[in-house]
Every structure is written in C-alpha cells, then in structure tokens.
C-alpha cells in the first residue's frame, strides 16, 4: 500500500472524520500543539544556549542537561501526540503539503543531530563540564539544533498557508510543485 | 480621534497595505513571533522551575534569574515588534472586536509588571532571605499569567 493510499484510507476512518469535523476538539489539539512549544523548544533552547556559552556559564553542562532535558522530552512527547492527531485529522492534505513534508524531513535531521550530539561530543562532557564556553563541536551541535528548531517552527506555521499559493487542487501548477507536493495529475 | 479611528489609521497605512498584499508576509511574521514564544517559554520556565524545585537546584536563584533575564529581554525584542506588526495587519477589522485580543493585552500588562516589579525583586534577593512558600507562589503566579498571555494569543489566531 502506498503512502497516498494509506492517507486516503486514514481519512475515511471514523476518528479522522470526527476530529476533522469537530467544533472544538481540533482547535484544542492545535492549541496544545502550539503552546507546548514553550516547554519543548523553550527548555531545549536553554540547553543549547548553555552549550553555546551564552547563558548560565557557572552551571555544569551536565547539570543543565540533567535538570532540563526531562522537561524537553516531556514537551516533545506532547508535541508528537498532538502533532500525530493534527495529521490524523486531515491526512491527505497534510501528505500533499510541501511545508509538512519539509517539516518531517527537518524533524528527522534534528533527531539525527540530537543523536549524534549525545553519542559523540557529549560522551566526554566530564572533561568540559565546567567550561563557560564548551568545545567547538558541542557549540556546533547546539547552534545547528537551534537553527533546526527555528526552521521547524516556521515550516509548521506555514502548513495552513500552502493553499493560498500552490496546492494540488489548483492546477496547472509548475512541475516542481506537483512533484514536491506529490500531486496526481493526468 | 477614537481608539477605533487610531486602529483604522494603523491598518490602512501604506506600509500595512503593502504587507497585506503579499501572502508570505503575515505567516513569516507569525513564525518569528512563535520563535520568540519558544524562547520566552524557556527563559520563564528555567527560573520558575527553579523556584518550584523542579529545575536547576544547586545554584542561587539570583544567578539563574540574571542569566534568564537577558534571554527574556531578547525574546521580548522579538515578540513585541512581530506582535505589533500582526496586530497592525488587522487592527480595525479584527482585533478591535476580539475579546481574546483585549484579554491578552491585559494579561500581558499584568505579566510584565509582575515579572519586572515583583518577581524580579524576589528572585534577585539573597537566597538566605528567601522563603520557599513565597518562591513557589511567585512561580505559580508567573506561570499562570504567562499561560494566560499565550492561550489568549492562540485564541486570537483561531478561526
């Protein structure tokens, strides 16, 4: 089954229809998704800023991570669940949304960045735990992380605006748009 | 000139007309506003979690608060201009009539006054002169006020 068929099938399930047509539920999920940003990206940004040497220079890096990362992780889980529900409410239009697709790619890249950071430079944190400005590789990981979350926020905010510029429902579209959005044309 | 006249003057100024004519401008400004929201969330949380005993715990509150305050100011420098621009886009036709907008403005004023007048005095004090109960109360009021600002802000953007 192709992803497109899967999305088409998802859109016919009662849960998806109920969420899509609900008066308040969709808006509540959307609001939770946006507001948890404060907790998820907010605490992640504070960790990144410490790694860049831009805040709390007197606090051990490992302590900032140990005390704030649980909040980042909890925020991320809420983002993941609410985000999945937002997708489930309109699977096809999300699937054929260029900003949504770009956001998912960015999310994977951001995840790889986190994984690489924790499995390489952060392993030797004991050696630079008290450095006001951590080593270059740690700073690069943190800078990249900040940039990726900022891009993710922008792509997410753009998702509902695609319909104003280019959309599979508006043909003819440039070939590149149809290709990137996965539009089906004759 | 009434308030509504002033809002009309803002919304129909040439700058705003130019901004509205492009479909990209509004969502891009809104995106930058959201980045500011994330940052202020971090700057507020790092101190309030410390006061509640859930965040960093070994350092004096004042040390964390001083560092966080700088990033709070940076986030306000991002939030205020982007917020004002979004407001100007639809000042007279939407915001003037929107309860959520006025609630947000009231909550924002209270949050700013509370943060920079009351909370600041409490968190910058010497740790030996702090009372855990008062610290927790300050954190709860701070989180509640900023949540009101954020939730009302979200409601403004809903259809």
Partner residue facing A158 (CB), from B27, B38, B39:
B27
- Residue B114: DSSP 8-state: I
Per-residue pLDDT tens for A116-163?
A: 999 999 999 888 988 888 999 999 999 999 999 999 999 999 998 887
Q: Nearest-CA neighbor of B46 among A50, A128, A115?
A: A50
Residue of A nearest to B57 (CA): A67
Q: In the prediction, which pLDDT does B124 show?
A: 87
**Whole-number percent of chain A with pLDDT over 90:** 59
Judged against a pLDDT cut of 80, whether residue A164 lies above it is answered with no
* Mutation for B interface: A25, A46, A79, A147, most B CBs within 10 A: A46
pLDDT band at B11 (very low <50, low <70, confident <90, very high): confident
The predicted complex's ipTM stands at 0.89
Distance of alpha carbon B107 from alpha carbon B148, whole angstroms = 6
Asked whether the predicted pLDDT for residue B33 surpasses 70, the reply is yes
For all residues of chain A together, what is the average pLDDT? Answer: 90
Q: Can you give the pLDDT at residue B159? A: 67
The predicted-structure confidence for B120-153, as pLDDT tens digits, reads as follows 998 888 777 777 888 999 999 999 999 999 999 9
Which pLDDT band, with edges at 50, 70 and 90, does B57 fall under? Answer: confident
- The residue of chain B with its CA nearest to that of A161 is B27
> In this complex, is the C-beta atom of A78 within 8 Å of any C-beta atom belonging to chain B?
no
Percent of chain A with pLDDT over 70: 99
Which residue among B38, B58, B67 sits closest to A55, beta carbon to beta carbon?
Answer: B67
pLDDT for B85: 87
Residues of A in contact with B39 (CB under 8 A): 41-42, 45
Answer positive or negative: Cα dihedral of A61, A63, A68, A73. positive
B81 CA to chain A: closest CA distance, Å? 17
Question: Are A88 and A19 in contact, with CB atoms under 8 Å apart?
Answer: yes
Please determine, for residue A105, whether its predicted confidence score (pLDDT) is greater than 90.
yes
Q: What confidence category does residue A52 fall into, taking pLDDT thresholds of 50, 70 and 90?
A: very high
Which chain A residues touch B156 with a CB distance below 8 Å?
none
Which tokens belong to A39?
């907790």
What is the distance in angstroms between the Cα of B2 and the nearest Cα belonging to chain A? 33
What is the reported pLDDT for A1? 66
- Can you tell me which residue has the tokens 């990726």? A148
In this predicted structure, the answer to whether residue B48 has a pLDDT above a threshold of 90 is yes
Q: CB of A40 within 8 A of CB of A78?
A: yes
Question: Contact A98/A166 with Cβ under 8 angstroms?
Answer: yes
Cβ burial, residue A118 (10 Å; 0-12/13-18/19+) = middle
Contact between A59 and B150 using a beta-carbon 8 Å cutoff: no
């Amino acid at each position: 089954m192709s992803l497109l068929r899967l999305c088409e099938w998802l859109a016919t399930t009662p849960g998806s229809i109920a969420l899509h047509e609900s008066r308040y539920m969709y808006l509540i999920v959307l609001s939770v998704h946006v507001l948890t940003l404060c907790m998820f990206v907010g605490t992640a940004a504070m960790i990144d800023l410490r790694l860049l040497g831009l805040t709390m220079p007197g606090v051990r890096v490992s302590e900032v991570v140990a005390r704030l990362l649980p909040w980042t992780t909890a925020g991320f889980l809420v983002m993941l669940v609410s985000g999945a529900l937002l997708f489930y409410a309109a699977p096809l239009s999300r699937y054929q949304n260029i900003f949504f697709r770009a956001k998912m790619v960015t999310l994977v890249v951001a995840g790889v960045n986190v994984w690489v950071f924790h499995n390489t430079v952060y392993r030797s944190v004991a050696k630079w735990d008290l450095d006001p400005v951590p080593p270059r590789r740690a700073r690069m990981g943190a800078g990249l992380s900040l940039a990726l979350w900022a891009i993710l926020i922008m792509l997410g905010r753009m998702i509902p605006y695609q319909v104003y510029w280019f959309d599979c429902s508006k043909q003819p579209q440039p070939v590149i748009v149809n290709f990137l959005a996965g539009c089906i044309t004759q | 000139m009434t308030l509504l006249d002033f809002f009309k003057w803002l919304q129909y100024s040439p700058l705003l007309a130019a901004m509205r004519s492009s479909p990209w401008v509004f969502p891009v400004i809104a995106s930058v506003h959201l980045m500011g929201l994330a940052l202020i969330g971090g700057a507020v949380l790092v101190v309030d979690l410390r006061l509640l005993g859930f965040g960093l715990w070994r350092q004096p509150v004042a040390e964390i608060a001083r560092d966080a305050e700088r990033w709070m100011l940076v986030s306000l420098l991002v939030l205020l201009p982007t917020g004002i621009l979004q407001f100007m886009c639809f000042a007279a036709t939407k915001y003037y009539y929107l309860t959520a907008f006025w609630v947000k403005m009231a909550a924002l004023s209270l949050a700013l006054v509370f943060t920079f007048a009351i909370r600041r005095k409490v968190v910058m004090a010497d740790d030996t002169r702090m009372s855990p109960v008062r610290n927790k109360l300050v954190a709860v009021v701070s989180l509640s006020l900023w949540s009101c600002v954020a939730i009302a802000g979200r409601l403004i953007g809903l259809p």
